[in-house]
Chains A and B, each alone.
Chain A
Amino acid sequence: MFLKEIPQTMTPLSAEQMASMEALMVGLSPMQQAWVSGYMAAAANGTGEPAAPVEAAPATLTVLYGSQTGNAKHVAAEVAEAAKARGLNAKLVNMADYKPNKLKDETHLAIVVSTYGEGEPPESAQKLYDFLASKKAPKLPGTQIAVIGLGDTSYEFFCQTAVDFEERLVALGASVSVERALLDVDYEDHTEAWITSAIDALEPGLKSAAAPSNVVPLVAPTASAYSKKNPFEAEVLGVQKITGRDSTKDVRHVELSLEGSGLTYKPGDSLGVFFLNDTSEVDAILAALDLSDEGLREALITDYELTQSYPGFVTAFAAATGNETLSKLAEDKDALRAYLEPRQISDIILEHPGKISADDLKGALRKMQPRLYSIASAQSEVEEEVHLTVGVVAYEAHGRDHLGGASGFLGRRMEEGHKVRVFVEENDGFRLPAGDAPTIMVGPGTGIAPFRAFLQERDAAEAEGDNWLFFGNPHFTQDFLYQTELLAWKKDGLLNKLDVAFSRDQAEKVYVQDRLREKGAEVWEWLERGAHLYICGDGARMAKDVEAALVDIVTEHGGKDASYIAELRDAGRFQRDVY
């Protein structure tokens, strides 16, 4: 309800009182508004004190999630919903927004967290993760915990972050009320069972003091009927290669139409993309396995992962085909990992054809997971379109050409008029500053994508804030992604500064972190002016190297240390979207 909708004659307030009331209400969150109404009521009762909580707070299950691409967030929401459905109190909180000093008050804690990099926490979990290992961490003798980790068995440090969270909490005295679940990319098939057992275990403790649920809807209902579970069939408007003809990289600018979907997005969000496997790969697999089942063929094209390999497949496939070489290999973890690293599922099958039933094959394979792409456009500019910057994974190995599942599909197999199933994955951890604060954006390679969205947004909004982009790639003439657009923005002043690092244009390699260092004094000056700092792109090396450079810069030019960067992160002024 808005005050301005109330006719003045219907209120007992004077026009001036109404105006000050309006002024007060502007900018209050619903929570704050509720508190204000309680305060007013209490004041009217003549106590002069805000209304006190009615009773001692009932025990609440705090569901903390640390998620990068939304999986853990969705699972966490399911946990909270399930608790609520049983009439329990539950609160869903992003780890990024959680005040660590609240930990000591928690009685029941569910942790849902994914893993990144080489066993590192997702961006949003970093702060809490570090806090738990620090001296400041409180003892938690009375806290019941339930941990669920999301990960991917094709990585060496499977669900490491979830494991670490549990171990750290236990070390602080918390007790595990249900065995932790560490789920692979097919996590959706296993979450429900775990949630049930977890809530079963937590329920008695929560109930003893439980009051009727007052959980507000946890996930704001989206305006669109489309979601990850029900993706939208977006029409391809165009696929354009945006690296030069002599580039070693194939990067595609992909434009899709969201027309009629009701899907909306903000700069910083990602687009989830379901893809179809390459039919020729599928046919090669079927031929190698001597299978010719039309239904199986369809399923392999649309439902199963054929590009990303993982240990479980080798085990299951070896068992089903009775392949001893593979069985032996599966026993040696390191050898297996080394074997898998350069191979897609199809490589394994083609190298070891055997007899296997359609069902066994499907059983050995994993469900296809959608891939995420940072959205490279702003709706203020492109309206019902969405643009992506897709680096096509393409390489030659084992005597054959290989393509990445999603990037090959988007970049090489899609043409204007084709359809792609997509959904929007919000990322509130990667947002433009609200006002006119300056931005420093570091986005080499396809990491440029969200910054194109940022710049389009700031352009459309005629935002005053200064913008500085650092971009890098191998060669100036071939790999300067969006060069003409960036030059135009540079010329008209939207982009105040643009620094580029083309690593292979000279004898010694030069990267964005080197450019940052060169401009260190100015970077420091921008930070002191309140600049927001963003990194997007390769998480394996680039993001780390850039962070190291940033620490050096604040040390050299500001006499600070790493804690300065940590504070920026806490203040929401240092955000990363790395993969």
Chain B
Amino acid sequence: MLDNSPDNLIVEGKLADNERMKKASNYLRGTIAEDLQDPLTGGFTPDNFQLIRFHGMYQQDDRDIRGERADQKLEPLHNVMLRARMPGGIIQPSQWLTIEKFAEDHTMYGSVRLTTRQTFQFHGVLKPHIKDMHKVINSAGIDSIATAGDVNRNVLCTTNPVESELHAEAYEWSKKISEHLLPNTKAYAEIWLDGEKAKTTEEPILGETYLPRKFKTTVSIPPNNEVDVHANDLNFVAIAEDGKLVGFNVLVGGGLAMTHGDTATYPRKADDFGFIPLEHTLAVAEHVVSVQRDWGNRVNRKNAKTKYTLDRVGVETFKAEVEKRAGVTFEPSRPYEFTSRGDRFGWVEGMDGRQHLTLYILSGRILDFPNRPLKTGIRKIAELLKDVDGADFRMTANQNLVIAGVPAELKAEVESLAREHALITDFDTPQLKNSMACVALPTCPLAMAEAERFLPDLVVNVEQILAKHGIPDDSIVLRVVGCPNGCGRAMLAEAGLVGKGPGKYNLYLGGNVVGTRVPKLHLENKSPEVILEELDRLVGLWSKEREEGECFGDYVIRTGVVAEVKVSKTDFHA
């Protein structure tokens, strides 16, 4: 039995060093401004290295040449990655033109990288360009506040362009929640935009030391689970009546990361707290955050996320506290069902008669590749649509891009631009479109193995396996991540590969198509060859023995290849 007495709600002990750092930072200022002036290194001093994350940047270096530069007696090629705040992933074509130009002119890789959280990242911005970068994106109405660090991150919202009205409402909520939970400090404007120095700062919601750990929120529109609710701390599942939004079911405590070899860490699904009508949305959001702020583990960062707080204090205790603080009582959940998670590629027509084109973007990497001038293509489409009222771009949580709100008369032109620039091809298989990878090497400092750069090869092999077993039009939700942080959400895949070392992966099996089940370890620390052999064997069995409509993940559970993970805390490592 869990002991839910109040003195057990807070983990005692020596605070994690990040807590000291946050407290000493004077509301996220630290000495970032001084570091910016230091011409001797492209990097930041340790505290600021962490603090710039709260401003949406990570210090990185090109790991491919780290060793080479050490031999050259040069420091690693320090740079920053920037992650923008784009609630719901909507970006205007005119904004797109601004950011893709910056990527072209001032980043080492030249790419705009769409992420699994509906925004874009610049990779490889050198120190002298950092301030300019913020000025440029802000001039286009974009910022990067709180897209990283111990705060509420970019708020997701299902892209769904078809039910335009419902989407518009849900999207407005994602923006409101994002803004409501944003840090109050003016540090961002002061440091990057030469804003005036604020006289005082208070953080009524987040507090002086912000949250114990990152915090992720979504607004989703069933039946599509594109946002992957179970990867998130807080989810507002839209409940509509007659196409009108009436409230949300609130799901709390999802999260996917773990640490190899540490069984106290595990991916965990979110728990359903119940339904709330719309008017309580911000209060509930605020107080799920405030309870996690006060009760989350500030001693051990590996156990600091909401999912562990829930497992420690108990779901009911947590929920009761939220109700108390928000002055709300959760009603019983309203029924809803997720039936899909992927994007609807190609053209669809919205209820408002507008045309929407969903483009498959391999790993979200928008760049001009040989024979695939994706960046140029999207730029041309943006130029075409930049003054068209109601047209926008939507970055999906599957790293893809929707060209939304195209007036019927421009459809043909958009289509031909997309085809000319290999944004639409006739070769992308269902398997490819159901595969995803995180960034990993060369920019991610935490990567243990390749992911984005390994995906194309892996997919070709899996396609061949499917073809070999006579089911070339079937697919498996396949996700590869470079380390157990799981940014490509492998822990909600039917088959998830998790990097363990160079060229070595763990294979997890048994998630499902809609993302409501966590997979379980099947092979540990194996080369891609060994993993593919095993997939070959299992796909062979599945192709023969599956029941009507049975997906691969369900099959491996039914036949006992892996045990089902029902309660992560007890089952995942069992």
Contacts and interface: CB of A to CB of B under 8 A. Distances in A.
Nearest to A478: B74
Nearest to B127: A476
Interface stretch (B63-71, B216-224, B564-572): B63-71
Contacts of B75: 480, 483-484, 487
Given A477-B126, A505-B128, A242 B74 contact: yes
B40 interface: yes
B37 interface: no
B63 to A, nearest CB: 14
A501 to B, nearest CB: 9
Nearest to A241: B72
Given A477-B126, A505-B128, A506-B128, A487 B65 contact: no
Interface residues of B, number: 16
B49 to A, nearest CB: 15
A480 B65 CA distance: 16
Contacts of A506: 128
Mostly, the B contact residues are: loop
Of B65, B70, B74, chain A has the most CB atoms within 10 Å of the CB of B74
A483 B73 contact: yes
A40 to B, nearest CB: 57
Contacts of B69: 244
A243 interface: yes
Of A480, A481, A486, A502, chain B has the most CB atoms within 10 Å of the CB of A480
A505 B71 CA distance: 23
A35 interface: no
A409 B216 CA distance: 59
A240 interface: yes
A283 to B, nearest CB: 33
A244 B74 contact: yes
B68 A245 contact: yes
B482 interface: no
Contacts of B126: 477
Contacts of A502: 39
B40 A487 contact: yes
B212 interface: no
Given A477-B42, A487-B40, A490-B40, A242 B128 contact: no
A482 interface: yes
Given A245-B65, A505-B128, A506-B128, A476 B72 contact: no
Given A245-B65, A505-B128, A485 B40 contact: no
Contacts of B70: 484
Nearest to A251: B72
B42 A476 contact: yes
Interface in A63-114: none
A101 B426 CA distance: 92
B42 to A, nearest CB: 7
Contact of A482 (B65, B68, B73, B128): B73
A498 interface: yes
Nearest to A479: B74
Interface string B71-87: 11111010000000000
A500 interface: yes
Nearest to B79: A477
Given A245-B65, A505-B128, A506-B128, A485 B73 contact: yes
Contacts of A576: none
A283 B65 CA distance: 37
B41 interface: yes
A483 B74 contact: yes
A481 B40 contact: no
Interface string B39-55: 11110000000000000
Given A244-B69, A245-B65, A487 B41 contact: yes
Contact of A500 (B39, B73, B74): B39
Contact of A484 (B39, B68, B74, B77): B74
A241 B73 CA distance: 9
B73 A476 contact: no
Nearest to B71: A240
Q: Place the interface of chain A in its size category.
A: 20 to 34
Contacts of B40: 483, 486-487, 490, 498, 500
Contact of A240 (B42, B65, B72, B77): B72
Given A477-B77, A505-B128, A506-B128, A242 B41 contact: no
A458 interface: no
A324 B37 CA distance: 62
A253 interface: yes
Contacts of A483: 40, 73-75
A357 B487 CA distance: 74
Nearest to B74: A483
Contacts of A480: 74-75
B273 to A, nearest CB: 50
B80 to A, nearest CB: 13
Contacts of A498: 40
A242 B74 CA distance: 7
Interface in A499-532: 500, 502, 505-506
A253 B71 CA distance: 10
A413 B73 CA distance: 21
B38 to A, nearest CB: 10
B208 to A, nearest CB: 31
A49 to B, nearest CB: 63
Given A476-B39, A498-B40, A242 B65 contact: no
B553 to A, nearest CB: 44
A483 B70 CA distance: 10
Contacts of A243: 72
A56 to B, nearest CB: 62
B497 to A, nearest CB: 31
Nearest to A477: B77
Contacts of A242: 72-74
Contacts of A476: 39, 42
Interface in B100-128: 126, 128
A476 B127 CA distance: 11
Nearest to A499: B39
Interface string A444-481: 00000000000000000000000000000000111011
Contacts of A486: 40
Contacts of B77: 244, 477
Of A243, A245, A502, chain B has the most CB atoms within 10 Å of the CB of A245
B24 to A, nearest CB: 21
Contacts of A484: 70, 73-75
Nearest to B41: A487
A24 to B, nearest CB: 49
A505 B106 CA distance: 12
Nearest to B126: A477
A476 B40 CA distance: 8
A453 B77 CA distance: 26
A244 B76 CA distance: 10
A485 B73 CA distance: 7
Given A240-B73, A244-B69, A482-B73, 5 more contacts: A240-B71, A245-B65, A477-B42, A484-B74, A487-B75
Sorted nearest first, the 6 A-B pairs with minimum C-beta distance are: A242-B72, A484-B73, A483-B74, A482-B73, A242-B73, A483-B75
7 contacts: A240-B72, A477-B126, A484-B73, A484-B74, A484-B75, A486-B40, A498-B40
Interface of A: 240-245, 253, 476-478, 480-487, 490, 498, 500, 502, 505-506
